[in-house]
Structure 1
Amino acid sequence: MKNWDSQDERGVCSSERDCEDAYKVCKRLDMPFHQVSYVKEYWHEVFSNLLREYEKGRTPNPDIMCNKHIKFKHFYQYAVNTLGADAMATGHYARTSQEDEEVFQQKHVPPPRTLFRDRFEIRKPARLYQGADRLKDQTFFLSQISQDALRHTIFPLAGLTKDFVKKIAAEAGFQHVLKKKESMGICFIGERDFENFILEYIEPKPGNFVSIEDGKIMGQHKGWFTLTLGQRARIGGQVDPWFVVDKDITTGDVFVGPTTNHPALFRDTIQTDRFHWIAEDPPAELVRTQMMECLFRFNNRMPLNVLQGCAVFFQIKAKYT
């Protein structure tokens, strides 16, 4: 699957290299090799959205959106409808509530579009679970995929650790794969100097780093959209670290505070209007009480945490037509 067209900062086209690596694996396993391009879809459905979000002062996650719109929508539909595959297998470290055999026994049936489903229908939605390797857990990146795609996806690495997968690859003679570095950076674009990369697509908007404590100007930045709340601010001439606590997209000021425990870095409320239930319906407890306790993470590397010392409220608005 090719989603990006340009070369990386070393002048290497990583998509061509990845394609060649995948072809070598297929040839060794005597499997047919197929290549499909979603460069246009990736630009319109993932990257353009990323730019719009940055311009609004937010920090989107392109890996989550790439899985939602490209791999588990366009690529999944290509695998099932064009190639006639029974299921799609991916190398994510995750698992589902289904056994692999269940996936191959399912027929591809479009989800019902009626307001009320058949009340006698036996429904058993697939659930997304963490795999055996908690250090490589990738369920964070799969949090927006559809139920239909999840039901027809298998995760061969579900019960394996990264070290054991490398051992299997070594025994199978896949040395060219073992030498590949960990995939880092923006999904399908790779690891780059983010500030220089994003400034190729968004016009620089210089502004000031302003101390949240006394309003003192600490330095300058090239654009508030290159900075994320909570990250360390690279301010020239400062010995001690300062961290981004807020952004004013009207004036261009980026407010910073000293130390990672500054009070301005903490929040006790969060608001969102985009919920995605992988099992299609909200949990019964939430529907009944409009309140539930849940675990959360905003970064794939952080452990799952429960909100401490406060309740999580959901206001449900239903519209019947």
Structure 2
Amino acid sequence: MSGGVDSAVAALLLKRRGYQVTGVFMNNWDVVDEHGVCTAEADCEDAYKVCEKLDIPFHRISYVKEYWHDVFSSFLYEYEKGRTPNPDILCNKHIKFNYFLTRVDAIENLGADAIATGHYARTSHEDEEIFQHPFIKSPQSLFRNRFEERNDVKLLQAADQFKDQTFFLSQIPQYALRKTLFPLGGLTKDFVKKIATEAGFHHVLKRKEARTFIVCSMGICFIGERNFHKFILEYLEPQPGNFVSIEDGKILGTHNGWFLFTLGQRARIGGLKDAWFVVDKDVSSAEVFVAPCTDHPALYRDLLRTDRVHWICEDPPAELVRNKMISCHFRFQHQMALEPCVLTLNQDGTVWVSLEKRLRALTPGQFAVFYKGEECLGSGKILRLGPSLYTLQQGQEIMKSAAANVSTETFKDLDPLT
């Protein structure tokens, strides 16, 4: 129970189906925001009121230490490396669908047969099948045991395509998916709000929809919405550097750290009225490269490489093993359109992703999430990018110039009068 409308309606629907439901609120961050308010307290109070109205037990548990070690520390490390992380995906992977499920809480302490969340997603199994799965945590190894008996559950997109949240679930383990219910998977957000209104959940309907921003403010999972620059500088030392024009190498201004910027965002450079946009970063020199327009060719690429991909069902898909490549769809941001791509498998489990068309601001540190039809196959963190359209155009100009020079010299050699 997050204190929001989605988890409230999920609990209501489960109770209406006859399940014995227990509400659990996770406290994973204990620092006040910039206004001196601990937003988790208000969220917890809202979750408690829902459970009270539904007449179901309520528990509050804390994973502050685990969140710091497995999510937030990784978040800071990625920024230091010049990448832009996605903590929400890691939070689902490590906290909600690992510690909560597998440690001493949901299964052992609370005696639960399954867990449920308010995510907009579906699985390939009916609810009754989820309850029939025995809970067996897979060994922590790179490869599954090929002799293991299993009835894999597929992660499927929600009926509400706009609200679909499989993107954020793309790293959860198979053993967790087998024991998870998504009561809202077949519903639209509007219908969920209607149910909440009829149930009298007026206090959660007044809450603002959670949003995530990369630049000025951001809603980090369990931390809340806050000014990003102020927040990150509480944990990372300033690393002053220059804004540099990608076109002519001219220094345009200074900044306090490359980690304050992500590819594609507007760089507000003091003294400049025109808009410039971040197209690349050099951690070694602390330089942030910028271009003078939002659709500059330096922002467009059609090739990337991930780290070892987490496959939700088949590990990796049989077609990918057989052919060393597979056609599917891809996104690296929630709610962006799915784009056709071809994955090429490397021996270490990483993949090259070749896109059918160039996309703007592919970003290292974000997750490349893959789909085949309505199934979410899994995801891998973006580590490397192919050359930008601007780099390729520069290369072509150099080649043309070199070819022209060669032709001129050749004709000089052939001309008896020179």
Letter in 1 for 2:179: H
Q: Secondary structure at the match of 1:295?
A: strand
Letter in 2 for 1:218: L
Shift of residue 299 of structure 1?
A: 0.6
1:239 counterpart = 2:290 = no
Match of 1:276 among 310, 313, 321: 310
Give the match for residue 352 of structure 2: none
Letter in 1 for 2:85: P
Shift of residue 132 of structure 1?
A: 1.1
Post-superposition Cα deviations, 1:267-320, rounded to whole Å, max 9, x if no partner, equal 23211222101115211111001111121111112111113xxx43211348xx
Give the match for residue 74 of structure 1: 99
Deviates more, 1:237-246 or 1:136-145: 237-246
Post-superposition Cα deviations, 1:194-234, rounded to whole Å, max 9, x if no partner, equal 01100000001111111101111122211101111122212
User: Normalized per residue, which structure has more strand?
Assistant: 2
1:226 counterpart = 2:260 = yes
Cα distance in 2 between the residues matched to 1:62 and 1:130: 21
Letter in 1 for 2:296: H
Residues 49 and 200 of structure 1: CA distance in aligned 2, closer, same or farther (over 3 Å)? same
Are the equivalent residues in 2 in contact too, given 1:46–1:62 (CA < 8 A)? yes
Give the match for residue 222 of structure 2: 188
Shift of residue 36 of structure 1?
A: 0.5
Shift of residue 236 of structure 1?
A: 2.6
Number of residues of Structure 1 aligned to a counterpart in Structure 2: 313
Give the match for residue 135 of structure 2: 108
Q: Secondary structure at the match of 1:247?
A: strand
Structure-to-structure mapping, 1:151-300, within 5 angstroms: 151-184=178-211, 185-300=219-334
Match of 2:69 among 33, 44, 48: 44
Letter in 2 for 1:117: R
Cα distance in 2 between the residues matched to 1:180 and 1:110: 36
Cα distance in 1 between the residues matched to 2:233 and 2:348: 39
Give the match for residue 114 of structure 2: 87
Letter in 1 for 2:147: D
Give the match for residue 15 of structure 1: 40
Cα distance in 1 between the residues matched to 2:280 and 2:343: 24
Shift of residue 164 of structure 1?
A: 0.9
Q: Secondary structure at the match of 1:34?
A: strand
Shift of residue 107 of structure 1?
A: 2.2
CA RMSD of superposed structures (Å): 1.7
Cα distance in 2 between the residues matched to 1:109 and 1:247: 44
Cα distance in 2 between the residues matched to 1:306 and 1:171: 41
1:117 counterpart = 2:153 = no
Instruction: Please report the TM-score for the alignment, with normalisation by the length of structure 1.
Output: 0.93
Letter in 2 for 1:191: E
Question: Unaligned 5+ residue runs, structure 2?
Answer: 1-25, 212-218, 350-418
Identity percentage of aligned residues: 66
Are the equivalent residues in 2 in contact too, given 1:290–1:316 (CA < 8 A)? no
Cα distance in 1 between the residues matched to 2:314 and 2:58: 34
Shift of residue 11 of structure 1?
A: 1.9
Q: Which runs of 4+ in 1 moved over 6 A?
A: 112-115
Shift of residue 237 of structure 1?
A: 3.1
Are the equivalent residues in 1 in contact too, given 2:144–2:315 (CA < 8 A)? no
Are the equivalent residues in 2 in contact too, given 1:147–1:280 (CA < 8 A)? no
Q: Which has the larger radius of gyration?
A: 2
Cα distance in 1 between the residues matched to 2:163 and 2:33: 25
Give the match for residue 313 of structure 1: 344
Give the match for residue 64 of structure 1: 89
Instruction: Please report the TM-score for the alignment, with normalisation by the length of structure 2.
Output: 0.72
Residues 27 and 306 of structure 1: CA distance in aligned 2, closer, same or farther (over 3 Å)? same
Are the equivalent residues in 1 in contact too, given 2:275–2:292 (CA < 8 A)? yes
Q: Secondary structure at the match of 1:82?
A: coil
Cα distance in 2 between the residues matched to 1:277 and 1:163: 32
Q: Secondary structure at the match of 1:12?
A: coil
Letter in 2 for 1:130: Q
Cα distance in 2 between the residues matched to 1:94 and 1:313: 27
Cα distance in 2 between the residues matched to 1:118 and 1:239: 64
Cα distance in 1 between the residues matched to 2:81 and 2:251: 23
Letter in 2 for 1:183: A
Are the equivalent residues in 2 in contact too, given 1:209–1:253 (CA < 8 A)? yes
Shift of residue 150 of structure 1?
A: 0.6
Cα distance in 1 between the residues matched to 2:46 and 2:300: 44
